Structure 1
Amino acid sequence: MKPRHRRLAIAGGVLAAVGVAAALVLNAFQSNLVFFYSPSQVAAHEAPLERTFRIGGMVQAGTVQRDGTQVSFVVTDTAKAIPVRYEGILPDLFKEGKGVVAQGQLRNGVFVAREVLAKHDENYMPPEAAEAVRRAQQGKLANTLEAAK
């Protein structure tokens, strides 16, 4: 093999290896990408059925039910509400009427959470959840004004 052909073969091999590595990294990134949805978006069937995603909003007052380590509650953005089921120990800051983000999958209309995150102080709500609540409240206000006309 001539030196020129050897250099082309090495360059081709390096290029192929870089391409395979880039494809594997992008595939792993795509597999681990988790999107955020509000309860209104989940109720409108915008959330994926077969993939993990995050849902966030407020824990609706009076909906927390505990049975050992199994907990069920309802997450709302003031417009729509989605029931959530979680098995495990909840964060200490988890309370009714406070902000929460849960990660899991939607199964038969119930969000089955694998992880539950609670807000960390009195003024904090995840930006996505705050935006979802704000949009839901604006939608309710617009509907109320339309009904009043």
Structure 2
Amino acid sequence: MKSAKLKSLKRLTRILGLSVFLFLVACEEDPINVDDRTQWLGAWVCNETSGDFAPQSYTITVYEGVQLDEITITGLHNEGTSWTIDANVYNRQLQIPSQTVDGLTISGSGSINSTGEQVNMTFTFNDGTGADNVVAYWTR
């Protein structure tokens, strides 16, 4: 009789141990959403080093977009503060998906340095007369 109780107790211990393990695995926390936009936000001086209008220097401003990976850039390619485009950021990478705003088409990519003080980027800008391939860097 004692051995039957011992077997039942061992079985119950295994079941409880497995239940606790499954509970802990099932309660694993979701990954934390990190807002990578903060390092990109604010006013920048954009210096174009190559392209049809290079060299030129002008101010742009970066704002938060709706999504955690989205920013809005005003004034790129010296188009003025009312010209805004959307871009996506992940960590130190920037991606401007192809988009047409006010008849002007742009796409490109870039990266921010580890101190958050400079962005190197390339983008293609087309106002309908042909593609302007631009290399630029931003500084604070």
**How would you bin the TM-score normalised by the shorter chain?**
0.3 to 0.5
TM-score by length of 1: 0.31
Report the structure number with the largest CA radius of gyration: 2
TM-score by length of 2: 0.33
> Larger helix proportion, structure 1 or 2?
1
> Larger strand proportion, structure 1 or 2?
2
